[in-house]
Amino acid sequence: QVQLVESGGGLVQAGGSLRLSCAASGLTFSTYFMGWFRQAPGKEREFVAGVSGSGVSTYYADSVKGRFTISRDNAKNTVSLQTNSLKPEDTAVYYCAARTDYSGSYSQRGKYAYWGQGTQVTVSS
């Protein structure tokens, strides 16, 4: 049974930082492309960042480029998202997700087979 469990969310002031983590189990982790998505109230879930199975290739939404960094540790089956210079508009539930289908865009939600339950990030102004 595949499980993805996020942690690290919380309340932070604008300009602050949080490090989100996602622990994976029940899958051959290094074969999965991992992504982080977020969903704000009343909005669709959107792609934030992604990392290839090897960790060599990373991808970011324009809105977070230069502020967020995705990384993975295949020995520990974890993927992390370092969020810096947080803004109130970054407030959302953040989800990690896993896919083995490398066809199509990395930002396509439907390509991800497994999802975590999410962790809340709230940025106050």
- pLDDT confidence tier of residue 51, bands split at 50, 70 and 90: very high
Q: Is the pLDDT of residue 103 over 90?
A: no
First to last CA, the chain: 40
**pLDDT at residue 75, rounded to an integer:** 98
- pLDDT confidence tier of residue 104, bands split at 50, 70 and 90: confident
**pLDDT at residue 21, rounded to an integer:** 98
**C-alpha distances in Å from residue 121, one per residue of 7, 12, 83, 84, 114:** 10, 8, 10, 12, 21
**pLDDT at residue 101, rounded to an integer:** 80
- pLDDT confidence tier of residue 102, bands split at 50, 70 and 90: confident
Structure tokens, 13: 């002031």
Contact indicator for 27, 79 with CB cutoff of 8 Å? no
Distance CA 23, CA 58 (A): 18
